[in-house]
Structure 1
Amino acid sequence: MPSAAERTRTLVQSTCSAALVVPGLDVPCPDHLVPSSRSVGPEGDLFLEFPVGSPAVRAATRAQGDGLGAVLELTDVAPVSVPHRIRGRAWISGRLTAVPGPAQPGRMLLRLETAEAYVDDLWGAQDVEPEAFRDAAADPLVAHEAELLQHLHAAHSDRMGMLRALLGARTACDRAAPRPSAVPVALDRFGLRVRFVEAHNSCFDARFEFPEPVQDVGGLRRAMHTLFEAASC
């Protein structure tokens, strides 16, 4: 399974929503604290881009000493329609400072020096050490995951349902019940997580691991072919 640090890096480098929380900063519109871009530096610090007139920029530039305490909150929502769509959340806290010079016209970079991190997702809840976050890498499929899940759900729902055959006793014991719908809910280099939605929106997740970790979309196609082949036997 991916480590907590890898999962947190993946969330940071994904398209999930993010908002900066600065204690004591009164902002009339929460959208004013949503960075327009975010990246991770070589030391594990976060670089967040805001308009120069943003309340976050004003607060960071006026801060004295070691900067301003802040938390970046990330919320990951499944890109397909499924019950309980929030897949995870992460919080990264540290000191916020302004990076000298504009990032681009009308924009400014803020640096969040990572001091603490915490992730709570489909794998569980766990603290993340700053050094582990710095050294971790995002999942290689992160840039394509949303599109891939939407494609699997829209074009291969029948094959998703076939994976039920790999669940063994869980489904074999209740053959009279209607078959649950199968929705691909998460994907990483190690495997595919499918949410089986039963009557009245009750559901359960099943994890289908690949024979070996995949590094790109080509490897994923081969792994999925192997998975579907096993389900059809």
Structure 2
Amino acid sequence: MQEAAPLVAPNTAERVHSACAHAESAQLALPGLDPAPTSVHFLRQCGDIVIAVPTHSAAAGLVTGCGAPGSPAVLELTDHAPLPLREPVRALVWLRGWVHAVPGHAQRALATAVAEDHPHPSLLDVGHTSTLLRLVIDSAVVADNSGADSVCRDQLRGARPDPFVALEGAWLQHLHADHADVIDRLARRLPPTMRRGALIHPLAIDRYGVTLRVEAVDADHDVRIPFPCPADDIESLSRAVQALARNPFRGGLERI
């Protein structure tokens, strides 16, 4: 029996979860209204995303007025790289479904439940200047330099974000600020023609590998360098990065 090929990247549902966790901004699109910014967005395992909008906004009024059926909606989330790149957007996510009002008596209880996993300071405004809504997701699309892929709600329910999602930004900033030598050794895995005259930055780290952003004269290119096997904890992740840097001529590349 032929052995299965090793996983070298997160699947689409995992990418959606991680991009939502990274995203600092989101816009809620409702019929007949301009897109409304949200102050909180949290994708839950049950297949919905909890969002906060200003209490007296047109978005809150429309959804509340729809009653139990809710309103069709699309939430667009933007995942920005934590480094000063020429093109800072790493990924866009569109979550399509039906948005529902959360009853007034349940607002604080839901905010408390969300805060256990996502302690965002804007949750303190719930019940005062902001109100929570629930977008029940039918489908999701994630787009980055590798293209666009879609998943359904059941696939999202069965997925989790990358286990290092909360640490990734600090790791990338640390590499960028203090370990130019590591980035240089990782960059030696790239074809010489791609490196020539280009600025190279660490774009992403997850349990499956490292992605480099190559800012060339003509365009930006993202190249993924997979680990030999997925990392399970911080120690194994650190060892995997160090091993790639020590041995720049082992392992394959995945052009994104």
Normalised by the size of structure 1, how large is the TM-score? 0.85
- Pair 1:45-2:48 in alignment: yes
- Deviation per CA, 1:6-43: give whole Å up to 9, x if none: 111112222332111112025xxx6xx22222223342
- Paired with 2:91 and 2:211, the residues of 1 have a C-alpha distance of 14
1:29-178 matched pairs, under 5 angstroms: 33-64=36-67, 66-101=69-104, 102-103=107-108, 104-106=126-128, 107-167=130-190, 170-171=191-192, 178=196
- Paired with 2:226 and 2:249, the residues of 1 have a C-alpha distance of 16
Change (3 A) 1:19 1:215: farther
- Paired with 1:41 and 1:142, the residues of 2 have a C-alpha distance of 15
Change (3 A) 1:159 1:41: closer
* Residue identity in the other structure for 1:227: L
* Residue identity in the other structure for 1:196: V
Match of 1:219 among 216, 221, 236: 236
Change (3 A) 1:210 1:94: same
Q: The residue matched to 2:41 in structure 1 has which SS?
A: strand
Alpha-carbon contact 1:157-1:183 (below 8 Å) kept: no
- Paired with 1:81 and 1:21, the residues of 2 have a C-alpha distance of 28
CA shift at 1:148, angstroms?
1.2
- Paired with 2:220 and 2:153, the residues of 1 have a C-alpha distance of 35
* Residue identity in the other structure for 1:97: H
Calculate the aligned-residue CA RMSD, in Å: 2.3
Q: Percent identity among equivalent residues?
A: 36
- Paired with 2:234 and 2:102, the residues of 1 have a C-alpha distance of 36
Instruction: Tell me what 1:15 maps to.
Output: 23
CA shift at 1:201, angstroms?
5.9
CA shift at 1:74, angstroms?
0.9
- Paired with 1:178 and 1:47, the residues of 2 have a C-alpha distance of 45
Alpha-carbon contact 2:23-2:78 (below 8 Å) kept: no
Alpha-carbon contact 2:63-2:71 (below 8 Å) kept: yes
- Paired with 2:51 and 2:220, the residues of 1 have a C-alpha distance of 37
